[in-house]
Amino acid sequence: MTGFEFRTTPQLVIGANKAVEAIEMMKARGVRRVGLVSDATLRQLGLTEPLEQAARAAGLGPDIFDAILPDPTEEMLDGAIAALSACDGIIAIGGGSPLDIAKLVAVRLRSDQPLDQMWGVGNVTGPRAPLVLIPTTAGTGSEVTPISILTTRTNEKMGVVSPVLLPDAAILDATLTLGLPPAVTAATGVDAMVHAIEAYTSKRLKNPLSDMLARQALTLLGGNIRQVCDVPGDVSAREAMLLGSCLAGQAFANAPVAAVHALAYPLGGQFHVPHGLSNCLVLPEVLAFNAPAASALYAELAPLIFAEGVPLADGFRTLAPEIGLVTTLREVGVTEGDLEALAADAMKQTRLLINNPREVTYDDALAIYRAVF
């Protein structure tokens, strides 16, 4: 076994109605005014109200920024920093978008480092404010990853990757996922499975601990995704999905993702396709492309999700329509004339492509997009 390093969020709290414990975590860290990052829909649904009440009761504010949409942008980050500039601790509740924005807000509260200097791996130089993340989707695993992904002003998806972005704590409260629309439940669930699969087959930094987490994640996710889509109110299945997503996040935070994400990012950046769905769309064809280099590893993972003997790529081709997801690029507004630009954009994702088990060329990326079109 070669040596490796493993980092993750130092504290996990798992259980129903545990989200309000974030306020006590803030108080324990000496926070005097809390900034709450979320989105408008979650606030309208009342999911943030217990946190807001607890913060008010503790005299910690909160100041709130909820103008966040899927595929968060640099402009949204600027708005969040301005709205929460008086705060000295950050809580985020939501999907990957609010959580990713919150990580960078927490840094900017303590550091003047420009965002342009943070892009890439290991470039964050400043400290950050206390940070607690509470996911409301079982998908991104952002609560345990040192990664924040934004759409730039030039419509490219770019990432900031640094251990500084790992939060102090994450709270997994499955009751917060009960109101998710079926399509979001399905797409985020597959997104989490992508994280586990790509971590397990990552060309760089794959290690025994990430492998163990990826396998357990797929066992939980594969065993419950159909149930949460068919019976949305099943709290036990929701909790299993949330834990599976978290474990997959821990895996890919240490054994990074690859070509599925590299080809998915342009769909989000150029067409604003939600990240989970972007991954779902390209997943089967990327798996088929990688099979010559990763077939043995795929054969180990497939039985954790599908019936014995079903290849991984074929299994996902069947699963997507079964749980109500679209399966072609034309269904999300992509035209045949867009495919070359998508492939060119995908090739810019070198941070991800170097992790793929098989080298991807521009022609390969274009062929994958055409197969999905």
* Distances from the Cα of 262 to the Cα of 5, 46, 349, 368, angstroms: 24, 35, 5, 12
Convert the pLDDT of each residue in 275-285 to its tens digit. Answer: 999 999 999 99
Convert the pLDDT of each residue in 312-348 to its tens digit. Answer: 999 999 999 999 999 999 999 999 999 999 999 999 9
- The continuous run of DSSP H or E covering 238 comes out as helix 235-254
Q: How far is CA 272 from the centre of its chain?
A: 15
- Answer for the pair 135, 184: CB distance below 8 angstroms, yes or no: no
Provide DSSP, 299-327.
Answer: HHHHHHHS-TT--HHHHHHHHHHHTT---
Phi, psi of 364 (to 5 degrees): -65, -45
pLDDT at 1 over 80: no
Q: How far is CA 117 from the centre of its chain?
A: 23
Give the confidence band of 157 by pLDDT, cuts at 50, 70, 90: confident
pTM: 0.94
The verdict on whether omega for the bond into residue 62 sits within 30 degrees of 0, i.e. cis, is yes
- The continuous run of DSSP H or E covering 229 comes out as helix 208-230
CA torsion sign, 301 to 307 to 308 to 309?
Answer: negative
Q: What is the mean pLDDT of the chain?
A: 96
pLDDT at 37 over 90: yes
Q: How many percent of the chain have pLDDT more than 70? A: 100
User: What is the length of the chain?
Assistant: 373
Q: Residue 320 has what pLDDT? A: 95
Q: Residue 98 has what pLDDT? A: 97
Structural domains in the chain? 12-175 (3.40.50.1970), 182-372 (1.20.1090.10)
- Answer for the pair 229, 314: CB distance below 8 angstroms, yes or no: no
Convert the pLDDT of each residue in 66-87 to its tens digit. Answer: 999 888 999 999 999 999 999 9
Q: Which of 252, 40, 291 is nearest to 142 (CA)?
A: 252
